[in-house]
């Protein structure tokens, strides 16, 4: 059987292409590429790890880990692992530090950045405060802020105590210290003042007082010293014979109960009619068996 010349050429070309394709496939090197734990099985004509990564369109940074080394020749069955460093932004001591790291905890990240923590410092990760021990915090932090603690002295009930805080204001510092404040408590400097190292904060506690007046009970807190001063602050006025227990000049104690007693005066007038008395007397000018009225009687009261 004779084939046309053109068909012979086509068959020959097809054979050559198939042979080249088969040869190309047989010369591919099978390797496994693992990127951040993701596995890919590849066949490549590249001859080194670096060329393989470039062919896979992977950008390798100095902080990334590549095993085996980039200049390692490829061979069938080779496993190439790439662990890319993660970017972390640290704010501490007025500075911003940007780094790429393989650290798996906040503690390790800070150690890599050569940032040490004091016993009272606090760490904020992704905008949230984390436990005092930063090794227990988010294992993959991206934004870390270190809040440095400053000392201050709290004066309360005649006692002075040195405390540490990472708060920015007096009110936040007292809240961190576990103090419950009431509206009538006196705090100096004010709660909104910015905290500073070595600051002295004075807290003068108000005392609870209960006032019973006009059928209602008022519970309040005060810095006043005497009963009358508390009533004046509450706008409670005594009139006439009103009185209090304890008395107005009595000193206040803790949990004092003041009772206001209202006194009213009433005048009751009772009227009872008193019958008049009838008096008979002789009248020489009248005939026998006759009588007359000399004066009409009136009822008394």
pTM beyond cutoff 0.75: no
Residue 259 has pLDDT above 90, yes or no: yes
Query: CATH number of the domain at 87-147, out of 3.40.50.300, 3.10.290.10, 3.10.20.30, 3.40.50.12280?
Result: 3.10.20.30
Angle 105-107-110 from CA coordinates, rounded to 5°: 110
What lies within 8 Å, CB to CB, of 126 at 6+ separation is: 138, 141, 142, 143
124-157 burial code (b ≥16 CB/10 A, e <16): bbeeeebeeebeebbeebeebbbbebbebebebe
What is the rounded CA–CA span in Å between residue 155 and residue 170?
A: 13
Alpha carbon distance 139, 125 (integer Å): 10
| Structure confidence by residue, pLDDT tens digits, 112-149 | 999 998 899 998 887 777 665 555 545 567 889 999 99
User: Could you tell me the fold of the domain covering 26-83?
Assistant: Ubiquitin-like (UB roll) (3.10.20)
Of 244 and 6, more confident: 244
CATH no., domain 207-261: 3.10.20
pLDDT in tens, 51-92: 989 988 888 999 999 999 999 999 999 999 999 999 999 999
The region of weakest confidence among 66-70, 160-164, 226-230, 286-290 is 286-290
151-204 is a CATH 3.10.20 domain: yes
Highest mean pLDDT among 119-133, 196-210, 279-293: 196-210
């Amino acid at each position: 059987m004779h084939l046309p010349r053109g068909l012979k050429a086509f068959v020959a070309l097809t054979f050559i292409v198939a042979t080249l394709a088969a040869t190309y496939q047989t010369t591919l090197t099978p390797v496994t590429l693992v990127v951040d734990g993701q596995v890919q099985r590849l066949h490549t004509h590249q001859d080194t790890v670096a060329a393989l990564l470039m062919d896979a369109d992977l950008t390798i940074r100095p902080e990334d880990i590549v095993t085996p080394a980039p200049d390692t020749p490829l061979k069938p069955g080779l496993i190439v692992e790439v662990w890319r460093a993660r970017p972390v932004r640290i704010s501490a001591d007025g500075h911003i530090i940007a780094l790429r790291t393989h650290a798996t905890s906040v503690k390790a990240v800070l150690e890599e950045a050569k940032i040490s923590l004091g016993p009272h410092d606090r760490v904020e990760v992704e905008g949230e405060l984390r436990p005092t021990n930063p090794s227990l915090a988010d294992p993959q932090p991206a934004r870390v802020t270190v809040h440095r603690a400053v000392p201050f002295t709290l004066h309360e009930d005649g006692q002075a105590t040195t405390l540490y805080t990472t708060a920015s204001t007096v009110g936040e510092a007292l809240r961190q210290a576990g103090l419950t404040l009431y509206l009538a408590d006196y705090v100096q400097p004010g709660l909104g003042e910015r905290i500073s190292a070595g600051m002295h904060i004075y807290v003068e506690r108000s005392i609870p007082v209960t006032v019973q007046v006009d059928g209602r009970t008022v519970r309040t807190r005060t810095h006043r010293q005497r009963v009358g001063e508390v009533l004046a602050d509450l706008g409670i006025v005594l009139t006439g014979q009103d009185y209090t227990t304890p008395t107005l000049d009595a000193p206040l104690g803790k949990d004092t109960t003041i009772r206001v007693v209202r006194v009213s005066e009433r005048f009751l007038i009772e009227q009872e009619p008193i019958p008049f008395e009838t008096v008979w007397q002789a009248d020489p000018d009248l005939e026998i068996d006759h009588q007359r009225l000399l004066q009409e009687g009136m009822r008394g009261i």
